[in-house]
Amino acid sequence: GSTLQAAAAESGRYFGTAIAANKLSDTAYTTIANREFNMVTAENEMKLDATEPNQNQFNFTNGDRIVSWARSNGKQVRGHTLAWHSQQPGWMQNMSGSALRSAMLNHVTQVATHYRGQIHSWDVVNEAFADGSSGARRDSNLQRTGNDWIEAAFRAARAADPNAKLCYNDYNTDNWSHAKTQAVYNMVRDFKSRGVPIDCVGFQAHFNSGNPVPSNYHTTLGNFAALGVDVQITELDIAGSGTSQAEQYRGIVQACLAVSRCTGISVWGVRDSDSWRSGDTPLLFDGNGNKKLAYNYTLDALNAG
Ligand code: G3I
């Protein structure tokens, strides 16, 4: 394949990107996005603060713009995200207990219902585990409603959109030996054993020199897949430049291709200038839209699979 999406499709996988609604009028941006990618994640537009700015008053304007662009260009959509401790609207930030639990479940139900039939996979719950060595849940207002809040969110999402794949999504879960990775693994194993509806696990994959691509990445992906879930790399970006950055991108692609249930890879933006951390130049196209060495290594690795 001569594009990322075509090369990934040769092994039945997708290659995606985050899209920002306010850039859909930038034709340099949409030309690259349309040519290279066949899966789209809304970078911010489907989050809680964007979709429910006032309680029970929903705003799908910008999320719908992204879905519309995706559908009219033949792309699938990853929904991001239904329940998260961050980017909550102000009214939710100060809620607690059963009122918050009800509000969270209502949010999951209303948003998943609005997009029913249009979402390939939902990041139902995002970033619910703590960093560091504790292996604990992250403390948050949602966690304080009870440890079962995650499975409650998954059940509500399944009821609202039975055909969407339901994913748990997190970062720093790449290295198999890390406590956070083990904790998420144990949750997924428990969910599968008890019939909680979960279909997939997303690995955000935000890498930098302090958090490099681990050499055991294929082990992590393979062990999760062996639980009976699909795995996806969902927000890939790697700080750096040149050969070092390109080789790390190649390593990620090779790890995914080595696991049959690794069904796709998405990068977290189109050009370096579109990145949430643009100073790290972490993406596959430079600010002028030129293909970087990391692009060539990624494409070659996809084609070699
Ligand atoms: O929309 C407002 C705009 O009106 C205002 O003028 C501007 C001024 O700062 O802020 C704009 O909102 C910003 C928004 O991005 C859109 O650009 C927010 O301040 C900013 O916090 C927000 O950052 C996003 C971040 O999530 C927030 O948590 C990034 O774009 C987005 O890339 C990032 O994505 C997250 C994933 O959802 C979850 N995984 C980690 C990843 C990277 O942090």
pLDDT of residue 123: 99
| C-beta 86 within 6 A of ligand 1 | yes
Closest CA to 150 of 116, 91, 190: 190
| C-beta 161 within 6 A of ligand 1 | no
247-284 burial, b for 16+ CB within 10 Å, e for fewer?
bbbbbbbebbbebebbbbbbbbbbbbebbeeeebbbbb
Catalytic residue among 43, 45, 52, 235: 235
Cα 124 to chain centroid distance, Å, stands at 10
Q: In terms of pTM, does the model score above 0.90? A: yes
Q: Which residue has the tokens 């390593």?
A: 251
Q: Write out the two tokens for 222.
A: 């393979």
Cα 31 to chain centroid distance, Å, stands at 22
Catalytic residue flag (residue 235)? yes
ipTM of predicted complex: 0.94
| C-beta 204 within 6 A of ligand 1 | yes
Per-residue pLDDT of the chain (305 residues; tens, 9 = 90+): 999 999 999 999 999 999 999 999 999 999 999 999 999 999 999 999 999 999 999 999 999 999 999 999 999 999 999 999 999 999 999 999 999 999 999 999 999 999 999 999 999 999 999 999 999 999 999 999 999 999 999 999 999 999 999 999 999 999 999 999 999 999 999 999 999 999 999 999 999 988 899 999 999 999 999 999 999 999 999 999 999 999 999 999 999 999 999 999 999 999 999 999 999 999 999 999 999 999 999 999 999 98
Q: Are 52 and 43 in contact (CB under 8 A)?
A: no
pLDDT of residue 16: 99
pLDDT of residue 305: 84
Catalytic residue flag (residue 52)? no
d(Cα 89, Cα 133) in Å, to the nearest integer?
A: 30
Name the closest-CA residue to atom 1, ligand 1.
44
Candidate of 85, 276, 277 to mutate for ligand 1, largest count of ligand atoms within 8 Å of Cβ = 276
Catalytic residue among 36, 45, 52, 127: 127
| C-beta 59 within 6 A of ligand 1 | no
d(Cα 126, Cα 199) in Å, to the nearest integer?
A: 15
